[in-house]
Structures are given as C-alpha cells and as structure tokens.
C-alpha cells in the first residue's frame, strides 16, 4: 500500500526549525514508513508577493486533494494586507472544531504543578462563526460594527464533535461555556443546541457555565472541568488561559477538524526575535503532530513518541524557555536528540501512554463534495414580517430623530416603537445620563390591527426608502417571527 500523504507548511519565524526537528523525530520513530509530507507554500513569503490569501493556488489544490495539513506558526500581516492565514485556512476548508488538550507535563514547572495540582483538560472551540467571520463596517464617523454570526447547524457540528470526542476519550462530563445571560439569542442558540445534541449522548453528563465564571473557576480550581465547548472568540480566549495553566503556548497542541480537511498546528507565535538561532522549543508542535498521528489511526507511533517526550521532560531535557535551571539549556536539535534517545522508554513520574501496535494509518479521506453544501437544522419554519430596524447616521438629538421618524411612518402600516443608541433604549423612555453617539437604531413595528403575515418585506423596503430621503441609512434588519416567536432582541432598558 502507498503511504498516506500530508501537506506540510513549515511556517514563518521559528516555524521551519521546529518543523524540521519534529519531522526528524517522526522519522526516527518510524512514521516515515507510513506517511509522506509534501511541502506547500503558505505564510509570510506568499503575503509578501501580494497574495492576500497567504497561500498559493497550488497549496489550496493540495489541501483539497490531501485533506490533511501539518503546519508551523505563521505570521499575519498587521493592520492592512491579508487576514490571518490560520483563520482563513480553518474557514475556507470548514475545519469547524478546534480541539486543544492541556495536561500537566513533567519538568514543566507551573504554580499548579508545584502545588501538586494535576491538570487534564480538553477545550473544544467552534472555529468558523462568531466574530471570526470578520464582517466589519464603519457605519458613521464614530461607530464601527463587527457582526457576530452564530448558526444552528454550525453549533450542531461542533457540539456533535465535542460529545463524540468525549465519548471516545472516556470523559464523563462536558460543559458548554457561554454568555447567554447577555447575548440571549446568539449564545442562547449555542447553548440550546448543546442541550439538544446532548440527548443523543445519554451516558454523558452535561453542564453549562457562564464564560467569565469559567475563567475564574479555571484559575481557582481547574480540576472541576474535563471538557468545555465554547463559541469561537470565547474559546480562543479560554484556550490560551488554559495554556497558561500548563506552562504556556509552548506546551499547547491544537487540531482543527472538519469533514473533509483537518489541520494540525502549534498555536504559539513565530517568535521572530529568536528565529534562526536554533533555540526554539518544539514541544507544542510535537504534541500537535501526535494529535495528527492519532487522527489518522497511528496510535502506536503516537504513544511511543509521547512516552519518549515525557521521559525526556522528566529527566530535565529542556530548551531555555522552561525547566530546571540546574539542567543544561539545549538547542532545538539537541532537544530532539534527547527525545530520540528515549524512544522505547516510558516515564517514571507520570503514567505512560498506551503503545497499541505500530501499524500504518487507518485514515480514509472523505469523498470530495461536488458543490458547496448548505447545512440546515430548522426546516419548515413559519416566518412572518412584523417590522424592521433601520440604523441611521446622524448627530441629531434623540427627540428630533423621534419626531422625524414618526412623521415619516405616519401613513404606513408601521409605528415607531423604540430608538436605541449603542444598544440602550433612549426613546420613548430613558435617562438624560445616557450618552449617545452618531448612530441610532430606530425600530418600526406593525400598528395595532395590522396582522403579521399580511405582507412581506416590500413594505419595509418602501419605509426604508422614505427614511433615506432624510437620513443616511447605515444598515437595515428585517424583524420577523419564527413559528410565532420573536426573532429579535429587546434594547437595554426596554
């Protein structure tokens, strides 16, 4: 049988050094008998050529064909230029679940390890949606907007993955981290779909926790959580917090899993200040590579390498960024040599990892889709138009805006019900202490006696046309009910 082929992107800064070292370790462990790595062009060099995607067309084709990517850290252009290639890769290829494991490692001293607190925690982060859609607009002189997008099918995908992973790893309780007390519709949907998906996993205990309380609890008593699944931005923040519990991002592996493409990467930075000096710590990339080996079914090889790494760490093998200061500081190559020398050994201070055979990969690539799939959760929902929110750019006072809007809608099916500013109601009630900026939401809802469903959105568009004669319209949102339930939130103070 031919070897399984994986796209290899070495990365920027210290990326090539730690990737070469990791591949060298894998060769000594016999991985190269079963896997081939094909280089692809991604990162800073591609950005510098004016390619805003940060990857060549040939690299994109290779990823689509191979379905597996092993990558080092990559630099993101700051300010202008292309967006983060790390985010672009996940989103383009729908690697919807970010899986990160955080474990206490021997020889890596933290306040928790010194206190005898053992950490074994898994974070699953939704990878596609939320504010990472990067949908941003300047709406007025003083206001910029970022849209937060949470979908039911996107939530279902990541929750199903998290619960399946918990089942496979023997984790008994899974928490959903959220901010549904404030973002009642977006995080509310994420939490609702977690509970709905949990019905298919009756053996698992489900819990939920507000994300700010979660962060506090993780610092005080991290052992109370085994797995937490979170929306994208919150998951990003909590993941890095958890990395801090075990020694930093240099010890935090990461996998991005999708139906057709999965990516395995170290999530730390490119460390340009030490690039080329041969002193970088490759541990996070090694651990990410082990996640990749397990993903493709090479459990035995992963176990052998992890046991050697644990053995090396507990015996003081270290680079300059961690470890016992009485032990010598090693270069990246010397660190890898220390792990290679211990292949076949098992750690003494912590439990070893199972080494269940050294067979080849069992991974089977999913068949290539014929078109972009539209994923759905809710179907056959009855929707009815009940109004619209029209957002305007104006320095006028609230009272003046209200007078103008009431005049504009006087002979329409709509009435002005609220005006809000930065999410807080300022009309018809409010307080003079609420400061306003030049960006108002004006909400129009059906007048009494006008039945929902008696017309579609064309009347709302006609109203917006009237408003546009007087004001600059920044954006517009249709207000609808879904099976009789309002599909829009209240303003603060309403």
> Does the structural domain 383-486 have CATH classification 3.30.70.1570?
yes
For the chain, 494 residues long, give each residue's pLDDT as a single digit of tens. Answer: 589 999 999 999 999 999 999 999 999 999 999 999 999 999 999 998 988 889 999 999 999 999 999 999 998 776 555 678 888 899 999 999 999 999 999 999 999 999 999 999 999 999 999 998 889 999 999 999 999 999 999 999 999 999 999 999 999 999 999 999 999 999 999 999 999 999 999 999 999 999 999 999 999 999 999 999 999 999 999 999 999 999 999 999 999 999 999 999 998 999 999 999 999 999 999 999 999 999 999 999 999 999 999 999 999 999 999 999 999 999 999 999 999 999 999 999 999 998 888 889 999 999 889 899 999 999 999 999 999 999 999 999 999 999 999 999 999 999 999 999 999 999 999 999 999 999 999 999 999 999 998 899 999 999 999 999 999 999 999 999 999 999 999 888 88
> Does the structural domain 1-96+258-378 have CATH classification 3.20.20.140?
no
CATH number of 97-233: 3.40.718.10
Global pTM reads 0.93
Radius of gyration for the alpha carbons in the chain, expressed in angstroms and rounded? 26
Closest CA to 305 of 74, 25, 73, 16: 25
Please state, in angstroms and rounded to a whole number, the distance separating the CA atoms of residues 235 and 172. Answer: 20
Structure confidence at residue 1 (pLDDT): 53
Segments of the chain assigned to CATH 3.30.70.1570: 383-486
Structure confidence at residue 86 (pLDDT): 86
Structure confidence at residue 494 (pLDDT): 84
Query: H or E segment at 262?
Result: strand 262-266
Tokens of 387: 């109004």
Structure confidence at residue 64 (pLDDT): 95
Please state, in angstroms and rounded to a whole number, the distance separating the CA atoms of residues 183 and 325. Answer: 47
Beta carbons of 207 and 173 less than 8 angstroms apart? yes
Segments of the chain assigned to CATH 3.40.718.10: 1-96+258-378, 97-233
Structure confidence at residue 81 (pLDDT): 59
List, edge to edge, every strand of the sheet that includes 439-446: 424-427, 414-421, 439-446, 383-393, 472-482, 485-486
């Amino acid at each position: 049988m031919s070897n399984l082929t994986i796209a290899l992107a070495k990365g920027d800064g210290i990326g090539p050094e730690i990737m070469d070292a990791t591949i060298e370790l894998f060769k000594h462990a016999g991985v190269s008998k079963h896997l081939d790595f094909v280089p692809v062009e991604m990162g800073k060099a591609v950005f510098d050529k004016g390619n805003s995607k940060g990857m060549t067309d040939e690299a994109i084709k290779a990823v689509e064909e191979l379905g597996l990517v092993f990558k080092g850290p990559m630099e993101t252009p700051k300010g202008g230029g292309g967006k983060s290639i790390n985010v672009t890769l996940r989103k383009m290829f729908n690697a919807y679940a970010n899986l990160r494991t955080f474990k206490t490692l021997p020889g890596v001293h933290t306040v928790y390890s010194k206190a005898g607190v053992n950490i074994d925690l898994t974070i699953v982060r939704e990878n596609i949606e939320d504010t990472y859609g990067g949908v941003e607009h300047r709406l007025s002189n003083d206001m910029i907007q970022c849209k937060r997008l949470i979908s039911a099918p996107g939530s279902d995908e990541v929750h199903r993955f998290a619960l399946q992973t918990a089942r496979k790893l023997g984790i008994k309780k899974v928490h959903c981290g959220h901010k549904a007390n404030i973002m009642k519709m977006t995080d509310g949907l994420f939490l609702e779909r977690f509970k709905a998906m949990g019905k298919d996993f009756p053996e698992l205990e489900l819990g939920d926790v507000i994300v700010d309380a979660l962060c506090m609890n993780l610092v005080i008593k991290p052992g109370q959580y085994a797995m937490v699944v979170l929306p994208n931005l919150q998951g990003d923040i909590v993941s890095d917090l958890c990395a801090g519990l075990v020694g930093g991002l240099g010890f935090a592996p990461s996998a991005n899993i999708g139906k057709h493409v999965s990516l395995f990467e170290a999530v730390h930075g490119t460390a340009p200040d030490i690039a080329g000096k041969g002193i970088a710590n490759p541990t996070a990339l090694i651990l990410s590579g082990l996640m990749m080996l397990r993903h493709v079914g090479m459990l035995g090889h992963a176990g052998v390498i992890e046991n050697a790494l644990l053995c090396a760490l507990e015996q003081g093998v270290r680079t300059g960024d961690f470890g016992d200061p009485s032990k010598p500081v090693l270069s990246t190559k010397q660190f890898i040599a220390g792990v290679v020398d211990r292949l076949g050994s098992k750690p003494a201070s912590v439990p070893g990892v199972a080494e269940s055979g050294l067979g080849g990969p069992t991974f089977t690539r999913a068949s290539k889709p014929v078109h972009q799939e539209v994923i759905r959760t809710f179907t056959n929902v009855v929707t009815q138009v009940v109004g619209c929110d029209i957002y305007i750019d104006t320095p006028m006072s609230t009272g003046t805006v209200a007078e103008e809007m009431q005049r504009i809608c006087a002979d329409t099916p709509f009435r002005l019900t609220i005006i809000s500013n930065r999410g807080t109601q300022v009309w018809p009630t409010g307080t003079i202490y609420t400061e306003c900026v030049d960006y108002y939401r004006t909400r129009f809802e059906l007048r009494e006696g006008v039945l929902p469903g008696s017309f579609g959105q064309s009347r709302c568009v006609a109203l917006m046309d009237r408003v546009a004669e007087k004001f600059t319209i920044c954006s517009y949102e249709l207000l609808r009910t879904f099976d009789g339930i309002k599909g829009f939130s209240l303003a603060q103070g309403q």
